[in-house]
Structure 1
């Protein structure tokens, strides 16, 4: 068609074309979606990690302090519930909490209802850092999504949700 310009090829186009030349019977079309999802995730993760470097936080540390902030449990959060909310194992959570406590971002206090348990809450400094880091991460997300308009973002979010839901439902809780 006259006047219609094709977008430039990306690395996935080149890979699919190479597979078609190497093995014409192979249907490599799933790579057009999955390959791009994986590459986009890598690029987005790099943007987020760069944003968090200013705060000397790993993504996992960011996840924990902002999970605490999001939950806003007035008496603190049980570490097991926190691990469930942030989708990591309780063993990994203990090491992470030790590191965050040493940095003065969280505090652990005895659980009033169960003397064997503790509750975790952000310190005032942890609350401030969590908020600043979240703003930086959301700005990185925005930069990553900048090539898309509002309608494209809405359509992509809906499509990705359709793709994600059957896999989330299959996960044990």
Structure 2
């Protein structure tokens, strides 16, 4: 079996301090390293569209919700787990790029609704398709059964640690 950098770290700890149980690093270390490699890959894919991960999240949240009337910025912020102030800056950037449009909320004189422009919908769809293709390439070394096992184990961790 091939070894990786985590194997070398765990082995070094076993030699340095045989009483220390560093076996948890075999999971957490690999999660962290894979997350870093994955984020760089996602960044590379989205850069071709002029998007950040945050921009992609907003565009595809709007696309997934599919509300023709538009979505409230506060609802988008909640779905992204960010503050409304951070959402405002994202929306400003996306509006300047003509990927979204903000219009007055007819139900709330002080509010606005956010909608994708046709260009925004097109960019969001293309970016999503490319990202899914990159996901497949990233996961290519794993069999379907391995993917299912990992997904199930990670679900257990998230259910245990996710708020609410």
Using structure 2 for the length normalisation, give the TM-score.
0.97
2 CA distance for matches of 1:162 and 1:110? 42
- The corresponding residue for 1:163 is 157
- Give the 3-state SS of the residue equivalent to 2:88 in structure 1: helix
Residue 139 (structure 1) aligned to one of 113, 133, 137: 133
Counting only pairs closer than 5 Å after superposition, residues 107-146 of structure 1 correspond to structure 2 as 107-146=101-140
Q: Which runs of 4+ in 1 moved over 6 A?
A: none
| Aligned length, in residue pairs | 164
- The corresponding residue for 2:7 is 13
**Deviation of 1:11 (Å):** 0.4
Say whether residues 1:76 and 2:70 are aligned partners: yes
- Point out where structure 2 has 5 or more consecutive residues left out of the alignment: none
Residue 57 (structure 1) aligned to one of 41, 44, 51: 51
Q: CA RMSD in A?
A: 0.9
Residue 37 (structure 2) aligned to one of 34, 43, 57: 43
- Give the 3-state SS of the residue equivalent to 1:27 in structure 2: coil
- Point out where structure 1 has 5 or more consecutive residues left out of the alignment: 1-6
Say whether residues 1:94 and 2:85 are aligned partners: no
Residue 23 (structure 1) aligned to one of 8, 17, 28: 17
Using structure 1 for the length normalisation, give the TM-score.
0.92
